[in-house]
């Protein structure tokens, strides 16, 4: 049987990575023009080892920026149908060494499924180390020295919840057609010396979480009153909102699908 | 006033460090014979900047091994009495850059206080990443692939609690006069993909926590029955217990004192 007719299989992959020092998800290199290390390029290079060196394109739920981490990024690729799910995970992880990047789970992709367009919700965490000394143990944080007022941050956050035009919180580089998004969750909690923002939406604009974090920190530091967040949102111009928080504190926690490719379909129960 | 007569002050320091790639607490170098980087040498070098270049000896609650971390190591040093507590912390932290090592708190040492001999209790955490894929986000873990049986580990741990001769769990290099220690706490819990051991005692033998962790993992993997932990303890020989767990998973969490140098003495209340 020629390679062209070899059966192929499309896989959903659950991925974990530490973005420190990596240029982000998206490949910026080509065979002709090598670029900085990206998770997409690393995974495509690992997959090529399983496809007799052929290029294997990989798509993901979201293109995380340089320095951003993932505990549950989701990607898709198609390979010759020669592997069981656990063999595929192990083989990819073998080739991803020694990068801080692993496949947590591999499962056959449902028919018609796409990691980006089938996503029903995305959950991010933004972690702030809120103390005077710089971090020695934690890398995946934004270090903010001034003691944050969480009540004020929560009041500011309440203005962002729901269905809004988020133009003020959108990067100039954002390619989305519409600036309108529905923010389903934006919680602020203190966990020891950390202040953690937990956000959820079906999808986000480029830099939206980091721009919301940078703005809420202005409120927490007392430089902005909480009501200014509402005014920034209404202004519909990037200049009206606060600065973009650094990528270090941001982690893509979870992408939700229905059905979830990583949840095995339960065997049918026999009516008793 | 000559330098010899300058008033001096002894400080208690609360320290945080990530031990990855560092040779441990204890200085192994001298001006004549440079050695690997240790936290003691880094802190002494930082302190020398505040003492006109004079050598400032530093002692600590415990000499953590190479690769072991601390969220609450405690140390003592004496300097010319020219600094307020917050100035001292900031100045030391300035000189500790860029190492993963910071002073969290500086406070005047109580009279007669010693970080090692005044300690009433020490608390350690040993963290295990219990899953098949290697860690990508967590560095401060021991990676154990086989699913651990926590009930069995807890049963094994119960044999170690209390007052025992811990010779079987003591490094050959241990310099303590007596192998008898009282283990006040040894709890095993699952937190997501992590299995965390929390241990407390007034003091520990060299490698005691890592040797207990290595032994309990044998139990959790089903290679040992829980009762074998009791037999290993009774044997009073290092060869009877399990292997030494790697340093990566171990963190010195807290050292307890009474009075605690880092807790300000409350102002006397006026009887009403």
Q: How far is CA A213 from CA A20, A154, B210, in A?
A: 19, 12, 40
Identify whether the C-beta of residue A129 lies closer than 8 Å to the C-beta of residue A142. yes
Identity of the residue in A71, A97, A135 whose CB atom sits nearest the CB atom of B137: A71
Peptide bond into B110 cis (omega under 30): no
Tell me the pLDDT band of A272, cut-offs 50, 70 and 90: very low
- Asked if B248 is an active-site residue, the reply is no
Identify whether the C-beta of residue A171 lies closer than 8 Å to the C-beta of residue A211. yes
The alpha-carbon gap from A46 to the nearest alpha carbon of chain B, in Å, equals 15
Please give the average per-residue pLDDT across A25-43, as a whole number.
86
**Residues A57-68 pLDDT 10s:** 999 999 999 999
pTM: 0.92
Backbone φ and ψ for A184, nearest 5 degrees, come out as: -90, -20
Please give the average per-residue pLDDT across B24-43, as a whole number.
87
Identity of the residue in A18, A103, A133 whose CB atom sits nearest the CB atom of B133: A103
> DSSP letter at A221?
T
Give the number of other CB atoms < 10 A from CB of residue B176: 14
| Dist CA B247 CA B24 (whole Å) | 10
Which chain A residues contact residue B136 at CB under 8 A?
16-18, 99-102
pLDDT for res A30: 74
Chain B residue with the nearest C-alpha to that of A99: B136
What is the value of ipTM here, to two decimals? Answer: 0.90
- Quote the tokens at residue B49: 């900047």
- Within a 13 Å sphere around the CA of A121, how many CA atoms are in the beta-carbon half? 15
Tell me the pLDDT band of B104, cut-offs 50, 70 and 90: very high
Q: What's the N-to-C CA distance of chain A in angstroms? A: 47
Q: What is the dihedral of CA B83, B89, B95, B99, to 10 degrees?
A: 170
Give the number of other CB atoms < 10 A from CB of residue B245: 23
Task: Please state, for a pLDDT cut of 70, what percent of chain B lies above it.
Answer: 95
Identify whether the C-beta of residue A77 lies closer than 8 Å to the C-beta of residue A43. yes
**Residues B206-226 pLDDT 10s:** 999 999 999 999 999 999 999
**Cα–Cα nearest to B195, from B159, B230, B154, B227:** B154
Catalytic residue among B18, B65, B86, B184: B65
Q: What mean pLDDT, rounded, does chain A reach?
A: 94
| Interchain contact A254–B (C-beta under 8 A) | no
**Residues B109-142 pLDDT 10s:** 999 999 999 999 999 999 999 999 999 999 899 9
pLDDT for res A267: 65
pLDDT for res B271: 54
| Interchain contact B197–A (C-beta under 8 A) | no
Mean pLDDT is lowest, of B28-32, B86-90, B133-137, for B28-32
3-state secondary structure A2-45: CHHHCCEEEEEEEEEECCCCCCCCCCCCCCCCCCCCCHHHHHHH
- Within a 13 Å sphere around the CA of A84, how many CA atoms are in the beta-carbon half? 2
B137–A103 CB contact, under 8 Å: no
pLDDT for res B1: 45
- Within a 13 Å sphere around the CA of A128, how many CA atoms are in the beta-carbon half? 27
- Quote the tokens at residue A256: 């939700």
Identify whether the C-beta of residue A217 lies closer than 8 Å to the C-beta of residue A128. yes
Identify whether the C-beta of residue B42 lies closer than 8 Å to the C-beta of residue B24. no
The alpha-carbon gap from A225 to the nearest alpha carbon of chain B, in Å, equals 30
Backbone φ and ψ for A20, nearest 5 degrees, come out as: -55, 120
Identify whether the C-beta of residue B48 lies closer than 8 Å to the C-beta of residue B31. no
Is A84 in a helix, a strand, or coil?
Answer: coil
| Dist CA B31 CA B183 (whole Å) | 39
Please give the average per-residue pLDDT across A69-98, as a whole number.
97
| Dist CA A147 CA B30 (whole Å) | 41
């Amino acid at each position: 049987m020629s390679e062209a007719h070899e059966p192929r299989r499309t896989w959903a992959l659950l991925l974990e990575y530490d973005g420190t020092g990596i240029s982000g998800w998206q490949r910026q290199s080509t065979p002709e023009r090598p670029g900085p290390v990206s998770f997409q390029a690393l995974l495509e290079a690992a997959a090529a080892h399983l496809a007799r060196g052929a290029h294997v394109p990989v798509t993901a739920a979201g293109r995380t920026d340089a320095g951003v981490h993932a505990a549950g990024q989701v990607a898709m690729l198609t390979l010759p149908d020669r592997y069981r799910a656990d063999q595929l995970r192990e083989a990819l992880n073998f080739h991803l060494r020694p990068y801080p990047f692993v496949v947590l789970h591999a499962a056959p992709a449902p028919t018609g499924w796409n990691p980006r367009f089938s996503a029903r919700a995305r959950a991010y965490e933004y972690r702030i180390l809120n103390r005077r000394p710089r971090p020695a143990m934690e890398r995946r944080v934004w270090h903010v020295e001034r003691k944050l007022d969480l009540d004020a941050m929560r009041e500011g956050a309440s203005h962002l919840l729901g269905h809004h035009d988020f133009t003020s919180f959108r990067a100039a580089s954002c390619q989305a057609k519409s600036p309108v998004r529905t923010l389903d969750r934006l919680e602020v909690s203190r966990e020891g010396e950390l202040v953690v923002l937990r956000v959820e939406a079906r999808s986000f604009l480029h830099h939206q979480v980091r721009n919301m974090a940078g703005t809420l920190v202005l409120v927490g530091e007392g430089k902005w009153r909480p009501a200014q967040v509402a005014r920034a949102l209404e202004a519909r111009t990037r200049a009206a909102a606060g600065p973009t928080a650094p990528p270090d504190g941001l982690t893509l926690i979870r992408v939700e699908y229905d059905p979830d490719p990583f949840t095995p379909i339960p065997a049918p129960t026999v009516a008793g």
